[in-house]
A and B are shown apart, each in its own frame.
Chain A
Amino acid sequence: QSTIRWRMQTYAGPALAEHVLDPAIEMFNKIAGDRMQIEVFYADQLVPTGELFQAMQRGTIDAVQSDDDSMASPTEVTVFGGYFPFASRYSLDVPVLFNQYGLNEIWDAEYSKVGVKHISAGAWDPCHFATKDPIRSLEDLKGKRVFTFPTAGRFLAQFGVVPVTLPWEDIEVAVQTGELDGIAWSGITEDYTVGWADVTNYFLTNNISGAWIGHFFANMERWNELPEDLQTLFKVCCEQSHYYRQHWYWGGEADLRVNGPKMELTSIPDSEWAQVEAAARVFWDEIAAESETKAKVVEIFKTYNAVMEKAGRPYRYT
């Protein structure tokens, strides 16, 4: 019996993957031993992120770690990946939405249609602005060229933000060469981990989403060829990866705001930021109008958030 070999590519560069992917895959390889080994490739390494999804459908890449949005998956749920504005407040919201409110089933159905196995979803960090110049009011957002996710960019454009998409690995240099004024892609943990804190000066404490949604996917045929125990092992390692991120990000966000030396914190007053939250609800309805599946997902977000708001503290504070 020869060793099964998989190629897996993540959207993250090596510095970030050291936390968000490598430990889980090392664990998998250690346990699977001679039976199966997964080789990891980082952002744009084997194929550019824009071609990643079709490469997985074809089987050039066997498995992928990404959100739906930045790799432009050809599904009805693409817009909800990454940061769908204000859909979540905390990173625990994401697993609850997927496991208790039915998102898992929707994602599974959508990806099955295009020949891809959706393995599991997990939460990442909140979405904050890291910029060269301070943002203290909505006015300060105008004209800022910001690296962000496509859907978040569409949403933010109404406030004068100019969204720019570039290869993930080029962001740090693009800020330095003046192609970008800032980044709206992550929380402060990632800013420090990947080096963006070195090229920006300010961190805006208001966020446009509390937790990123990221997934593990596999080519459907490749997945079905795996014996059941290896499938289970893979799922367990993905869950382990999600769990690691829960505490790594949560702890890092608080610690670096308080003790991080590289970025100065600024805020937009809550009353003003309420405009952005209100605009998000309008944006939700626009998206819901696009298709039945999208309407279903938006409905779930609404139901969930209503429950959280009624529950009050510690779930929601306003």
Chain B
Amino acid sequence: MTGLMLKYVGLVDPLNRWIGRIVMYGIFVMMGILLWSSISKTFFLPSLWTLEMAQFAMVAYYILGGPYSIQLGSNVRMDLLYGSWTDRRKAQIDAITVLFLIFYLGILLWGGWDSLMYSFQYGGERSPTAWRPYLWPIKTIMVTGIFLMLLQAISELFKDILRLKGHDVGVKL
């Protein structure tokens, strides 16, 4: 069991880290789209697609980047009690409360999956705008990101269990 958990963590963490480190350059993609939007508006005709494209980029950025942000410990916790606990106590409590997080992500995935399947039906769901992009690409990204987030949350659970078993799996954030 321990070996399986170690293997899982060794697989999921690097994968999410790798994805996160690519996605983090998305800030320049967003910047580029928005700058093009102001340039095209000032000098030519405004573009039809910029705002929506920037929104897609933003969604991809924060959803695919989510697991890496967990690894970085960016997601704040209310540390009134948590802050004063020992690492061991933190791991104990976290190993239970992370199940709530996993539940939330599971429901999110369920809704996302349904919405994604819907976007393939009826000849492909399109955004109700004049540009009319198909919605399945962004929904695929969203569902993938939520799924990766779920994998990362499970990895956090495994790491806490491993910590309690005395393994060294990195600093407790």
Using a CB–CB cutoff of 8 Å, the interface residues on chain A facing chain B are 49-51, 54, 58, 69-72, 74-75, 114, 142-143, 145, 148, 150, 153-154, 157, 160, 162-165, 179
8 smallest CB-CB distances across A and B, nearest first, come from A153-B130, A74-B122, A163-B130, A165-B129, A72-B128, A162-B46, A150-B128, A54-B118
What 7 additional pairs, Cβ within 8 angstroms, besides A51-B115, A160-B45, A165-B127? A143-B45, A145-B41, A148-B130, A153-B129, A163-B48, A164-B129, A164-B130
Residues of A within 8 A of B132 (CB): 150, 154
Contacts between the two chains (Cβ within 8 Å), count: 54
Residues of A within 8 A of B128 (CB): 49-50, 69-72, 150, 165
Partner of A145, one of B46, B115, B121, B129: B46
Residues of B within 8 A of A150 (CB): 128-130, 132
Residues of A within 8 A of B87 (CB): none
Minimal beta-carbon separation of B103 from chain A (angstroms): 19
Given A163-B48, A164-B51, the answer on whether A72 and B126 have CB atoms closer than 8 Å is yes
Q: Is B13 an interface residue (CB 8 A)?
A: no
Complex: chain A residue closest to B121, CB-CB: A74
Main secondary structure of the interface of B (DSSP, over half): loop
What are some 15 contacts across the A-B interface (CB < 8 A)? A50-B127, A51-B115, A71-B128, A72-B126, A72-B128, A114-B122, A143-B46, A148-B130, A150-B132, A153-B129, A157-B48, A162-B46, A162-B47, A164-B51, A165-B130
Complex: chain A residue closest to B119, CB-CB: A54
Q: How far is the CA of A162 from the CA of B44 in the complex (A)?
A: 12
Residues of B within 8 A of A54 (CB): 114-115, 118
Q: Is B125 an interface residue (CB 8 A)?
A: yes
Q: How far is the CA of A164 from the CA of B46 in the complex (A)?
A: 11
Residues of A within 8 A of B129 (CB): 150, 153, 163-165
Contact status A72-B125, CB under 8 Å: yes
Q: How far is the CA of A114 from the CA of B129 in the complex (A)?
A: 22
Q: How far is the CA of A153 from the CA of B130 in the complex (A)?
A: 5
Q: How far is the CA of A278 from the CA of B132 in the complex (A)?
A: 24
Q: How far is the CA of A69 from the CA of B114 in the complex (A)?
A: 22
Flag B84-125 by CB within 8 Å of A: 1 or 0 each: 000000000000000000000000000000110010011101
Q: How far is the CA of A67 from the CA of B128 in the complex (A)?
A: 12
Using a CB–CB cutoff of 8 Å, the interface residues on chain B facing chain A are 41, 45-48, 51, 114-115, 118, 121-123, 125-130, 132
Residues of A within 8 A of B127 (CB): 50, 72, 165
Complex: chain B residue closest to A157, CB-CB: B130
Q: How far is the CA of A153 from the CA of B127 in the complex (A)?
A: 13
Residues of A within 8 A of B47 (CB): 162
Q: How far is the CA of A114 from the CA of B125 in the complex (A)?
A: 14
Minimal beta-carbon separation of A168 from chain B (angstroms): 12
Minimal beta-carbon separation of B131 from chain A (angstroms): 8
Q: How far is the CA of A70 from the CA of B107 in the complex (A)?
A: 27
Residues of A within 8 A of B125 (CB): 72, 74
Given A54-B118, A74-B121, A150-B132, the answer on whether A162 and B45 have CB atoms closer than 8 Å is yes
Q: How far is the CA of A198 from the CA of B28 in the complex (A)?
A: 36
Residues of A within 8 A of B114 (CB): 54, 58
Minimal beta-carbon separation of B47 from chain A (angstroms): 8
Residues of B within 8 A of A50 (CB): 127-128
Interface centre among A54, A75, A142, A154 (most CB of B within 10 A): A54
Residues of B within 8 A of A145 (CB): 41, 46
Complex: chain A residue closest to B38, CB-CB: A178
Interface centre among B122, B129, B130 (most CB of A within 10 A): B130
Q: How far is the CA of A267 from the CA of B89 in the complex (A)?
A: 73
Q: How far is the CA of A71 from the CA of B114 in the complex (A)?
A: 18
Minimal beta-carbon separation of B118 from chain A (angstroms): 5
Minimal beta-carbon separation of A225 from chain B (angstroms): 23
Complex: chain A residue closest to B126, CB-CB: A72
Q: How far is the CA of A49 from the CA of B128 in the complex (A)?
A: 10
Q: How far is the CA of A70 from the CA of B123 in the complex (A)?
A: 18
Residues of A within 8 A of B123 (CB): 74
Residues of B within 8 A of A179 (CB): 51
Minimal beta-carbon separation of B48 from chain A (angstroms): 6
Q: How far is the CA of A164 from the CA of B132 in the complex (A)?
A: 11
Residues of A within 8 A of B46 (CB): 143, 145, 162
Partner of A154, one of B118, B122, B130: B130
